[in-house]
Amino acid sequence: MCGIAGFAGAVQGLPEDRLALQRMIGTLHHRGPDGSGTHLAPGVGLAHARLAIIDLATGQQPLHDGHETVWTVFNGEIFNYVELRDELEKQGYRFRTRSDTEVIVHLYHRDGDRFVEKLNGQFAIALWDARRRRLLLARDRAGIRPLYHATVRGRVWFASEVKALLAVLPECAAINPDGLAQAFTFWGPCDPDTLFSGIESLPPGHLMTVEADGTRTVEQYWDWTFPRVGDAPVFTSFDDAVHELRDLLDDAVRLQLRADVPVGAYLSGGLDSSGIVALVKQAGIAAVRTFSVTFEDAEFDEREQQQAMVRHLGTDHTTLHCTRRDIADAFPTLIRHTEAPVLRTAPVPLMLLSAKVRQSGYKVVLTGEGADEVFGGYDLFKEAKVRRFWARNADSQWRHLLLGRLYGYLKHSPVGTPGFARTFFGQGMEHLPRPIFAHAPRWTTSRRALAFLAPDVQARISAFDPFAFYEDRLPAAIKDWSPLARDQYVEAKSLMAAYLLSSQGDRVAMANSIEGRFPFLDHRLIEFANRLPPQWKLRGLTEKHILRKALAPLLPAEIASRTKQPYRAPDASSFFSDGRPADYVDELLSAERICDAGCFDAGKVRLLFEKCRTGRAVGFADNQAFVGILSTMLLHDGFIRDRIPQTTTLPATGTE
């Protein structure tokens, strides 16, 4: 893993250009503490911070093709680089390193922009074609690795993180109200939007080209797709599909174990991470190093299941015990890395766990993230199925009771009171035909936080209709897919891309220079699972049915059959001890600081503060609003408030 940064356009290669490159890449040292490099030439500047995983001796970047006609800086891993290298060598291409990076420049020579279609990996790539004076930016299919860009002062600037852009573009240090509204609804800004004005994110599965004349093109090269309802089945035998799935899982794990450093794994005690660790053992790694988090609150703790898997697989296991105080203390650090508001504290323990991984001498961990999106694992999918069944007889007095089979892990469950459950889950039934139907209750709950925005900010987003906004971004073909397929697509493009792979994924791992790998998000697995009949994924109210069957021979029966328990952590309660707030919380949420930031209504925030302080905030909406407001104030404090303009003067026009 690494950090990349750079710019293209009106670039002469002046000393101030090199200083800008150094300033940008200097902010990304946490992503690449093992070395750095730059390339500066007419038209382009490239910078790289390296976390050495593959080809420790000769894998430095920026890297060129041997003729200095094609240059690249690259963040991530190309897992099938060995096979691609063999193929290219047979066709006469000569390699100077043993790195996966060099495959990129030779593939570009051979296939042009379509080279990305050959890559199995997680990546953010910047490639400079010196002959054509052309910049290409590409991001992996699922959106595992981030890539941001801005067009300012006659240049396109890009970087792995927003902070690298703000280091040279202080004019972008302003909150984008649209990005804030999206974050408070969907748990993160929706690509290409971000929280910062003038800065965009390259969407997953997209590439962007910038030609010599400044023409910019953004193109999608991959997406999640599903069969139309009524299409002939792709699979005729469930058992055959189980065997094919197992073969794909074996190969995905085999590829993602490729590294010139030791590889560990996260172990939560659930089906997904337990399955990954078992597959690692099957791949021939006898002594697997595993890591997990435990909590003082039984509601969030899974140590019993974790220890059961440790005993079953015989792993060398390390546990991080996380307290509420730990979460409060580390929250400001988390937000410096997420660069976006968060509505839950769950990323904090994972950030602390990645520090434990680093202290243990590891740089790479495999994780079970992605299985729920790919194989239909979330309660949201089951809930939507029940609500659709209920809608066929809306006056039924018993159909909604099926919801009682969900959310047993919640202390304050929305199905705990039948009357409340009927009201809560009955909302949004008018959206039944729409592809966002399954997500309407969640988004409705989350966006209640928008009521805390300052009046002028509310006025600026008054036209924001989250359902229409999101549907405008959906493919036309979604109307022909099964209900589960629609639900999966929206989940993958909203919560997974905007939050789970960002604030709870890349950012918390790279905060401590750890590379997370996601075998379930191998694009071959996604494509395979998307072709499956919906009932093979969600059988009745049993989630991930086919995945359970594929992993059952490797796991104890109680783990293979265990109902999904989402990973969570204490939210607003983490910031108060016996009614006393953490010092920075009291200061940040004071009327003076709230008014200074200009984002929120100070009076409403104070009422919410008191509700949380006295332990009366037990619902999702209050907890999400509190964490969202606090994280936004930390972002304002760290990236915007009292920001001093940079002293280096860069070209203000397109002239050289």
Q: What is the 3-state secondary structure (H, E, C) of 357-411?
A: HHHCCCCEEECCCCHHHHHCCCHHHHHHHHHHHHHCCCCCCCHHHHHHHCCCCCC
Query: Closest Cα to residue 366, out of 492, 242, 504, 272?
Result: 272
Backbone angles phi, psi at 616, to 5 degrees: -95, 0
Catalytic residue among 2, 190, 322, 612: 2
Q: Are the beta carbons of 148 and 160 closer than 8 angstroms? A: yes
- What is the secondary structure of 139-155 as a DSSP string? E-SS--S--EEEEETTE
Rg (CA), the chain: 24
Torsion of CA 320, 321, 322, 325, to 10 degrees: -130
| Helix, coil or strand: residue 616 | coil
| Helix, coil or strand: residue 166 | helix
Q: Are the beta carbons of 488 and 381 closer than 8 angstroms? A: yes
- What is the secondary structure of 478-530 as a DSSP string? GGGS-HHHHHHHHHIIIIIIIIITIIIIIHHHHTTT-EEE-GGG-HHHHHHHH
Rounded Cα gap, residues 616 and 526, in angstroms:
42
Q: Are the beta carbons of 626 and 454 closer than 8 angstroms? A: no
Rounded Cα gap, residues 522 and 175, in angstroms:
34
Q: Are the beta carbons of 410 and 464 closer than 8 angstroms? A: no
Q: Are the beta carbons of 259 and 557 closer than 8 angstroms? A: no
| Helix, coil or strand: residue 176 | coil
Instruction: Tell how strand 580-581 and strand 576-577 pair up.
Output: antiparallel
- What is the longest distance spanned by two Cα atoms in the chain? 74
> Which strand (E) or helix (H) includes residue 556?
none
Q: Are the beta carbons of 636 and 166 closer than 8 angstroms? A: no
What distance lies between CA 212 and its chain's CA centroid?
32
Q: Is the peptide bond before 192 cis (omega within 30 degrees of 0)?
A: yes
Q: Which residue has the tokens 């079953």?
A: 312
Measured between alpha carbons, how far is residue 119 from residues 88, 203, 536 in Å? 13, 17, 29
State yes or no: is 190 an active-site residue.
no
Q: Are the beta carbons of 63 and 39 closer than 8 angstroms? A: no
Active-site residues: which are they? 2
